[in-house]
Amino acid sequence: MDLTHGFGARSGIGPVTGLESLNFSDEFRQLVTTTPPENSGGSFTALLEMPVTQAMELLHFTDSSSSQTNITKLAGDISPHPFGTLTFPSNSLLLDRAARFSVIATEQNGYISGETPSSSANLDRVKAEPAETDSVSENQNSKQNQNKRKEREKKAKSSMKKTKSSVEEDKLPYVHVRARRGQATDNHSLAERARREKINARMKLLQELVPGCDKIQGTALVLDEIINHVQSLQRQVEMLSMRLAAVNPRIDFNLDTILASENGSLMDGSFNGESYHQLQQWPFDGYHQPEWGREEDQHQADFPMGSTTLQPNQVKVEL
């Protein structure tokens, strides 16, 4: 119908959210059935009166959480909409025009002026999601072939996300990133933001690991602390290895003759020249052999990894 064509003629208008455009399907339906189609630019705003007010109301609705049920109900009406693909680009145009010209429309509708701050705010919000129209139009075009897109939702629309994502979710391999208000949403910054969030999550993990890092504010200092911790651990290993080398000038690891007898005879402090019983074998299974070579003799020892019970009575080592 010429109404939709007229709206479709306007191009270069920016974004709407999927929510508003989907709601506008209903609005359009009512609009078409009730109002006569007038298509000139001058009376555009007059034509827009009803959708503007309802648009403003709807935009206002999306801010409040109480209206989420309304939104979901409206969104639930998506499927039986009678319009084809043309409506939704025009819906986006419609919305944006409505948002922009709401100031102009104040002279015609008194109570719109009261809503201009919200509309300007909504305009900011609306502009903050540029590529949403594409995803929405493609959704409406073909719900069967679901194009893989990144979903971007606002903070307040958690329930809305369920209805939308139920359409797209089963095939999306992409990361679901949440765009916040006033943040750029092109693909690069989205990926950057996802990456940054990943890094911050890992940093939190590291913070818990390193003692004394949770008090520190700021990533740089935390990183310095982590680096200090790693360096101190490495220095400790070096120190202990030196002590080991110093303590034991004659390391005799002939473990064939070792038996940990009952506890009494163990801690007597004499480390040389005791008599030992013969050991049984450790059960050497369940341990994967190392696949890399070593310069020493390859000890094909298998150790039970998860179930090692080092009971002092039965230490069995064969190396």
Residues 149-188 vs other proteins: string with x where CB under 8 A? ---------------------------------------x
Measured from the CB of residue 295, what is the shortest distance to other proteins in angstroms?
A: 5
d(CA 9, CA 30): 21
For position 210 contacting other proteins by CB under 8 A, the verdict is yes
Residues in region 300-319 near other proteins by CB under 8 A? 301, 303, 305, 308-312, 315, 317, 319
Q: Among 1, 9, 184, 199, which residue sits at the site for other proteins (rule: CB under 8 A)?
A: 199
The set of residues, in sequence order, having a beta carbon less than 8 Å from that of 180 and lying 6+ positions away, is 154, 155
Among 244, 277, 283, 286, binds other proteins (CB under 8 A): 244
Confirm or reject binding of residue 295 to other proteins (CB under 8 A): yes
* Segment 107 to 136, residues that bind other proteins, using CB under 8 A: none
Contact between 247 and other proteins by CB under 8 A: the answer reads: yes
CB of 285 to other proteins, least distance (A): 14
Of the ranges 7-15, 61-69, 76-84, 204-212, which one interacts with other proteins (CB under 8 A)? 204-212
Say whether residue 241 binds other proteins (CB under 8 A).
yes
- Size of site (CB under 8 A) for other proteins: 75
Q: What is the 3-state secondary structure (H, E, C) of the chain?
A: CHHHHHHHHCCCCCCCCHHHHHHHHHHHHHHHHHCCCCCCCCCHHHHCHHHHHHHHHHHHHHHCHHHHHHHHHHHHCCCCCCCCCCHHHHHHHHHHHHHHHCCHHHHCCHHHHHHHHHHHHHHHHHHCCCCHHHHHHHHHHCCCCCCCCCCCCCCCCHHHHHHHHHHHHHHCCCCCCCCCCCCCCCHHHHHHHHHHHHHHHHHHHHHHHCCCCCCCCCHHHHHHHHHHHHHHHHHHHHHHHHHHHHHCCCCCCCHHHCCCCCHHHHHHCCCCCCCCCCCCCCCCCCCCCCCCCCCCCCCCCCCCCCCCCCCHHHCCCCC
How many residues in total does the chain contain? 319
**Is residue 254 near other proteins by the rule CB under 8 A?**
yes
Closest distance to other proteins from the beta carbon of 27 (Å)? 40
Stretch that binds other proteins, among 29-37, 101-109, 120-128, 289-297 (CB under 8 A): 289-297
Q: Which stretch binds other proteins (CB under 8 A): 48-56, 87-95, 136-144, 191-199?
A: 191-199
Q: Considering beta carbons, is residue 101 or 303 the nearer one to other proteins?
A: 303
Q: Is 183 or 248 the residue whose CB approaches other proteins more closely?
A: 248
Cβ distance to other proteins smaller for residue 1 or 245:
245
Decide: is 296 part of the binding site for other proteins (CB under 8 A): yes
Closer residue to other proteins (CB): 57 or 238:
238
